[in-house]
């Protein structure tokens, strides 16, 4: 990745001097808080600035002495914390005595600091990714070097830009120097696949010019980790010559056959619901919130029918490469704990934003790369009813799993059919997801292997199942089976897949356009697949 300027914070401060001409005064360090509720939030309950957090006492004096007389760091507010706030931010740290005479204000050793990014939600603003914590010890990445930590982990940030302006002429990109000079920083070719992603610093400015006319298209000041398209975006989708009803029917048949090709399993049901660690959710939520207005229409022309893109626009917020790697590594720890298998990263996709009317066809994922996967719900709003993810277990029983922001669903995505056939409902409804995928280390043919010794036995027969609760709710145990190991998420319809035709039937039954008789819940056997394709 390109580094635009020296790493040292002293040089960085000089570069940013134009953004804050006045030296830091005492008021800048006058923020001492005992509760995270005292941090600055906007009208949506998100942090309205970047914040540097440090314990009150000698650590606070060190920060004051370090920054006194320098320009205000762009976009930051500083807070000394004590009491409840200190406990939340530094819950696992051994903090020095605030009044210790052994630690002097000029000594950073033993001080703990952390920087939280703008856009973090009030409820988890204290949850910060490990690389944005500093403990001042010799074992840290930057021993005795707070300047470098602050520059590298707090002020340095990733940015990415896409050209949706011209297919024929690349956009010319310039960095604006502190003196106002345009310095060339490469070109950006058209479309998402040519995204230009690199590292910069908060407060830096970039300019985009038309590659043919040299017209200024936009200026961009770096305020947070950013992914932005320049131009009018993706045009209307091309649907000419497409028979979508026929494609959907054929796809259902193909996907049923594909799911049957996978022999290896990892868990008894094939999926499980869980929850993100707070620091990862805080990072993901802040990134989406900060970039929500930079979303672009996803490029779907010429692709399949797994999303009803020909009826409802689908939007996308791409993730910068470095941030994607940090998220994927943390999420892999969760998926490995679920599968009990050592995994390797293969793909991460998102953030995808679905809007009112969106539907996802029942399907499975690529066998070679998508062995064990994770769906993460980042944000949702304006829903008139839950929009459950539909997952078929190893007995081909349909489960409808509701999610709230921060929830995850682990699933064997090449083996277990999944989708969201029910439409997303609610005026102005939106739903933002991230998808990440893994496979056993070094084994692209994992799907053709028998289960290793110790693999949980697939739960196929659960006895008789019956509706005992509200048939209009999901995930609350409305269906009861003889074997409770099947969990609380069985569809209240008691629907099971029997072949490609049955998947087509489900798509039609929950379609908002269809007037067919709805599936009627009934006592169901728990044996799973088999029988005629059109049997419900």
Q: Which of 21-25, 463-467, 494-498, 524-528 has the lowest mean pLDDT?
A: 524-528
- Answer yes or no: is pLDDT of 61 > 70: yes
CB within 8 Å of 186: residues ≥ 6 apart: 2, 173, 196
Q: Is the pLDDT of residue 31 over 90?
A: no
Mean pLDDT value of segment 159-176: 97
| 97-131: b (≥16 Cβ within 10 Å) or e | ebeeeebeeebbebbbbbbbbbbbbeebbbbbbee
Residue 524 has pLDDT above 50, yes or no: no
Segment among 99-113, 142-156, 336-350, 467-481 with least mean pLDDT: 99-113
Phi, psi of 17 (to 5 degrees): -60, -30
Q: What pLDDT is recorded for position 56?
A: 92
Q: Is 190 helix (H, G, I), strand (E, B) or coil?
A: strand
pLDDT(533) > 60: no
Please list the residues that pair with 409 across neighbouring strands: 273, 375
b/e code 488-526 from CB counts within 10 Å (16+ = b):
bbbbbbbbbbbbbbbbbbbbebbeeeeeeeebebeebeb
Classify the C-alpha dihedral 321-322-326-327 as positive or negative: negative
How far from the centroid of its chain's Cα atoms is residue 10's Cα? 34
Both tokens assigned to 225: 């980790």
What pLDDT score does 301 carry?
74
Place of tokens 């982990």: 153
Please, which pLDDT band fits residue 519 given cuts at 50, 70 and 90?
very low
Kindly tell me if the per-residue pLDDT of 92 is higher than 70. no
**Taking 60 as the threshold, does the pLDDT of residue 266 lie above it?**
yes
% of the chain exceeding 70 in pLDDT: 85
Rounded to 10 deg, the angle between the 321-339 and 278-291 helix axes is 140
Can you tell me which residue has the tokens 């980042």?
Answer: 378
Task: For the sheet with 407-411, list strands across it.
Answer: 271-275, 407-411, 372-381, 430-440, 343-355, 315-316, 296-297
Instruction: Find how far residue 89's CA is from the centre of its chain.
Output: 23
Half-sphere exposure of 522 (CA within 13 A, CB side): 7
pLDDT digits (tens, 9 = 90+) for 299-354: 887 789 999 999 999 999 999 999 999 999 999 999 999 999 999 999 999 899 99
**pLDDT tens digits along 253-265:** 999 999 999 999 9
CA separation, residue 199 to residues 178, 222, 244 (Å): 17, 10, 42
Q: Is the pTM of this model over 0.85?
A: yes
Model confidence pLDDT, tens digit, residues 402-447:
999 999 999 999 999 999 999 999 999 999 999 999 999 999 999 9
Going by C-beta distance under 8 Å and a sequence separation of 6 or more, which residues neighbour residue 77? 31, 40, 49, 50, 51, 52
* Token pair for 430: 């939106």
State the pLDDT at residue 148: 87
């Amino acid at each position: 990745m390109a580094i635009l300027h020296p790493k040292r914070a002293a040089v960085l401060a000089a570069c940013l001097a134009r953004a804050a001409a006045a030296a830091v005064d005492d008021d800048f360090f006058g923020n001492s808080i005992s509760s995270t509720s005292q941090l600055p939030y906007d009208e949506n309950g998100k942090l309205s600035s970047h914040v540097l957090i440090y314990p009150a006492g000698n650590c606070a004096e060190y920060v004051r002495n370090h920054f006194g007389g320098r320009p205000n760091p762009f976009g930051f507010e500083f807070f000394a914390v004590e009491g409840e706030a200190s406990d939340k931010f530094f819950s696992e740290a051994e903090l020095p005595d605030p009044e210790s005479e052994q630690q002097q204000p000029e000594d950073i050793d033993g001080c703990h600091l952390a920087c939280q990014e703008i856009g973090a939600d009030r409820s988890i603003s204290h949850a910060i990714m490990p690389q944005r914590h500093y403990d001042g010890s010799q074992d840290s990445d930057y021993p005795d070097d707070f300047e470098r930590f602050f520059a590298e982990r707090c002020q340095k940030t990733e940015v990415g830009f896409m050209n949706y302006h011209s297919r024929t002429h690349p956009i010319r990109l310039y960095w604006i120097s502190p003196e106002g000079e345009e310095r060339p920083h490469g070109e950006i070719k058209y479309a998402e696949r040519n995204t230009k992603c690199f590292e910069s610093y908060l407060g830096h400015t970039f300019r985009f010019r038309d590659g043919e006319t040299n017209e200024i298209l936009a200026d961009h000041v770096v305020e947070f980790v950013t992914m932005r398209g320049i131009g009018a975006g993706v045009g209307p989708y091309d649907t000419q010559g497409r028979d979508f009803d026929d494609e959907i029917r054929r796809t259902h048949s193909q996907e049923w056959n594909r799911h049957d090709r996978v022999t290896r399993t990892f868990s008894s049901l094939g999926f499980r619901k869980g929850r993100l660690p707070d620091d990862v959710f805080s990072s993901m939520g802040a990134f989406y919130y900060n970039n929500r207005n930079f979303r672009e229409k996803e490029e779907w022309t010429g692709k399949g029918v797994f999303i009803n893109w020909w009826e409802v626009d689908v939007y996308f917020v791409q993730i910068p490469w470095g941030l994607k790697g940090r998220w994927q590594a943390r999420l892999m720890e969760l998926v490995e704990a679920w599968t009990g298998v050592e995994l390797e990263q293969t793909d991460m996709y998102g953030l995808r934003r679905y809007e009112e009317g969106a539907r996802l066809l029942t399907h499975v994922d690529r066998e070679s790369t998508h062995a064990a996967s994770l769906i993460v719900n980042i944000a949702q709003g304006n829903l008139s009813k839950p929009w459950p993810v539909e997952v078929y277990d190893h007995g081909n029983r349909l489960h409808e799993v509701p999610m709230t922001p921060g929830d995850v669903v682990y699933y064997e995505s090449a083996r277990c059919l999944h989708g969201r056939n029910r439409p997303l409902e609610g005026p102005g409804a939106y739903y933002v997801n991230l998808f990440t995928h893994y496979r056993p280390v070094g084994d692209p043919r994992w799907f053709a292997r028998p289960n290793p010794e110790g693999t949980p036995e697939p739960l196929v027969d659960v006895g008789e199942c019956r509706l005992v609760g509200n048939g209009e709710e999901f995930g609350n145990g409305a269906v009861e089976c003889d074997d409770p190991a099947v969990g609380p998420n069985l569809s209240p319809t008691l629907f099971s897949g029997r072949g490609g035709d049955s998947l087509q039937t489900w798509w039609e039954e929950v379609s908002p356009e269809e007037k067919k008789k709805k599936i009627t819940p009934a006592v169901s056997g728990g044996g799973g697949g088999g029988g005629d394709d059109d049997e419900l």
